[in-house]
């Protein structure tokens, strides 16, 4: 995405689990953000010319030999900087302060006091507040020129600043929902300290992307892999608007969709002004996945095979571009911004080197999921598509633990269908929910006989950003109905369990 006219804040990542959430909060405040590795050279930062820099948290102790560091010159560039958690400790350590292990570590929500609510960072915020803490070290001595502006009962310096150099830092995490007024704090940094104009909005993104697509593609044809998910659907919509008559959408049915989903996707795109092609490739994908159990390998196989099927089907469109619904979290999690791989995504880094496409079109590459949904609404997509739950590119392959077989996929499809149907009947809506077929079998009793069948796991989460989540408290009576139906109606299942783990420490998906 072209951002020449947008002010930008750079988020420097030091291994923080909330780096994407920080960047998303900045965009909520109408300022463009970009995530880069903590060791990004200063020359690259100067070329971007950010109006501000945010240093993320991280799992390290800044005084340890193997911890990530930065150079003192970063703080001498004249660019406003906000350090968060490890970022605060790094700022203090680098500028001559002292960081020590805590006498009492702080985890979870902690009461804090903002000592100066007239300072630029805390202006307009309540003096007594609640923050999310997660640290075992603390700033024991402030660097020269800094003053303390917040504390907790166990952390003497919960925030510090050097206003003359526009350097601010907080020990807590303002980016998470559990920190009261956290987004307003970030907004204060952006507008009171960095002088942001608030020039980033989704309407500008549409205009810029349409111009960029037309400039890149020209008169060439574009081939898009259309899964029916939010990302690929919005990608199709903006491509159709930018280059009408030049788009072919190929739905590669790899046999790992949810029950009846392939037919539903085909119906959803009937009558559109685009060429829709459905390819039945179930057997081909299952043959490639035979005997494979490792999650990353499964993802790579599916990504590579997906592209090969694509190339074969699109061979009639000589010299075409490949379009993908890649979004920013895909890029970040695959390590292309920070170098730290959380998990590989089928649409990031999975293209064979010998691909015949002449180029790659990714109009959503720098957008977060909620931005993609907003974009889809602006483009007039049906709400059922825009609000569709996230579904991984590899489909049920990452919800079927261990080796993938048609038998296991069919079991999972039926169990997942019952789960979704009963939640709908009960009027229960969660941000994401699905069934998982574990690779575990347990003893059961059905009738007078002993069974030894699979365990199905159920997952339902509540989240506003998909960066963190809490498990949903589904009523026991609803879980009882779901469990009873799955065990009795789905052949091959003898036990149902419910996942009550949040993110972190778990991820939303199981693989």
Q: For residues 204, 210, 213 and 214, what is the CA-based torsion angle, rounded to 10 degrees?
A: -130
Which two structure tokens, joined as six digits, stand for 277? 């092609």
Give the angle subtended at the CA of 89 by the CAs of 87 and 95, to the nearest 5°.
100
Which of 325, 156, 351, 374 is CA-nearest to residue 227? Answer: 325
Whether residue 65 is predicted with pLDDT greater than 70 in this model: the reply is: yes
Whether residue 120 is predicted with pLDDT greater than 50 in this model: the reply is: yes
* Of 175, 240, 261, 509, catalytic: 175
108, burial (CB in 10 Å: exposed 0-12, middle 13-18, buried 19+): exposed
147, burial (CB in 10 Å: exposed 0-12, middle 13-18, buried 19+): middle
Q: Is 155 a catalytic residue?
A: no
Q: Is 85 a catalytic residue?
A: yes
Q: Is 115 a catalytic residue?
A: no
How far is residue 437 CA from its own chain's centroid?
Answer: 23
Which two structure tokens, joined as six digits, stand for 107? 């985890």
* Of 20, 29, 85, 333, catalytic: 85
Average pLDDT, whole number, for the chain? 90
More reliable by pLDDT, 200 or 348:
200
pTM over cut 0.75: no
Spatial distance between the Cα atoms of 436 and 320, rounded to a whole number of angstroms: 38
Spatial distance between the Cα atoms of 297 and 295, rounded to a whole number of angstroms: 5
Answer positive or negative: Cα dihedral of 338, 339, 343, 349: positive
Ordered domains of the chain (ranges, CATH):
8-193 (3.40.50.880), 202-386 (3.40.50.620), 400-498 (3.30.300.10)
Q: How many residues does the chain have?
A: 511
Whether residue 60 is predicted with pLDDT greater than 50 in this model: the reply is: yes
Spatial distance between the Cα atoms of 228 and 196, rounded to a whole number of angstroms: 37
* Of 173, 254, 345, 346, catalytic: 173
pLDDT digits (tens, 9 = 90+) for 320-375: 898 999 998 888 875 545 445 444 444 444 444 666 788 899 999 989 888 999 99
Beta bridge partner(s), residue 334: none
């Amino acid at each position: 995405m072209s951002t020449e006219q947008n002010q930008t804040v750079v988020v420097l990542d030091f291994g923080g689990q909330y780096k994407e959430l920080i960047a998303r909060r900045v965009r909520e405040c109408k300022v463009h953000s970009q995530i880069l590795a903590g060791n990004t050279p200063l020359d690259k930062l100067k070329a971007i010319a950010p109006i501000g820099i945010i240093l993320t948290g991280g799992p390290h102790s800044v005084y340890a030999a193997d911890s990530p560091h930065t150079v003192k010159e970063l703080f001498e560039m004249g660019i406003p900087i906000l350090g968060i958690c490890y970022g605060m400790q790094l700022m203090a350590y680098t500028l001559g302060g002292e960081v020590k292990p805590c006498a009492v570590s702080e985890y979870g929500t902690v009461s804090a006091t903002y000592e100066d609510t007239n300072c630029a960072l805390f202006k307009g915020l309540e003096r007594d507040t609640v923050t999310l803490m997660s640290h075992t070290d603390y700033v024991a001595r402030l660097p020269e020129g800094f003053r303390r502006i917040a504390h907790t009962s166990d952390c003497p310096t919960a925030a510090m600043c050097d206003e003359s150099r526009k350097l601010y830092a907080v020990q807590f995490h303002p980016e998470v929902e559990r920190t009261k007024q956290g987004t307003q704090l970030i907004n204060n940094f952006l507008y009171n300290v960095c002088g942001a104009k608030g020039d980033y909005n989704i309407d500008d993104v549409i205009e810029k992307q349409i111009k960029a697509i037309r400039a890149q593609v020209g008169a060439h044809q574009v081939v898009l892999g259309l899964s029916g998910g939010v990302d690929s659907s919005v990608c199709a919509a903006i491509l159709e608007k930018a280059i009408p008559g030049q788009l072919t959408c190929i739905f590669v049915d790899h046999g790992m969709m949810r029950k009846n989903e392939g037919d539903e996707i085909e119906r959803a795109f009937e009558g559109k002004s685009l060429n829709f092609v459905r390819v039945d490739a179930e057997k081909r994908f299952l043959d490639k996945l035979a005997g494979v159990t490792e999650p990353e390998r499964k993802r790579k196989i599916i990504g590579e095979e997906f592209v090969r099927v694509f190339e074969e089907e699109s061979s009639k469109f000589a010299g075409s571009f490949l379009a993908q619904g890649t979004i920013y979290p895909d890029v970040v999690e695959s390590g292309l911004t920070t170098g730290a791989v959380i998990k590989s995504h089928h649409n990031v880094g999975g293209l064979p080197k010998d691909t015949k496409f002449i180029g790659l079109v990714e109009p959503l590459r720098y957008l977060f999921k909620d931005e993609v949904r907003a974009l889809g609404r602006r483009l007039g997509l049906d709400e059922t598509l825009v609000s569709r739950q996230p579904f991984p590119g590899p489909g049920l392959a990452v919800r079927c633990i261990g080796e993938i077989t048609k038998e296991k996929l069919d079991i999972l499809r039926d169990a997942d269908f019952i789960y979704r149907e009963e939640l709908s009947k009960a009027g229960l809506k969660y941000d994401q929910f699905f069934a998982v077929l574990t690779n575990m079998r347990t003893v059961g009793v059905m009738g007078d006989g002993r069974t030894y069948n699979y365990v199905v796991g159920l997952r339902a989460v509540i989240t506003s950003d998909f960066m963190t989540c809490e498990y949903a408290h589904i009523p026991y009576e609803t879980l009882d109905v779901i469990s009873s139906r799955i065990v009795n109606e789905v052949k091959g299942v003898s036990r149902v369990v419910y996942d009550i783990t949040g993110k972190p420490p778990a991820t939303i998906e199981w693989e």
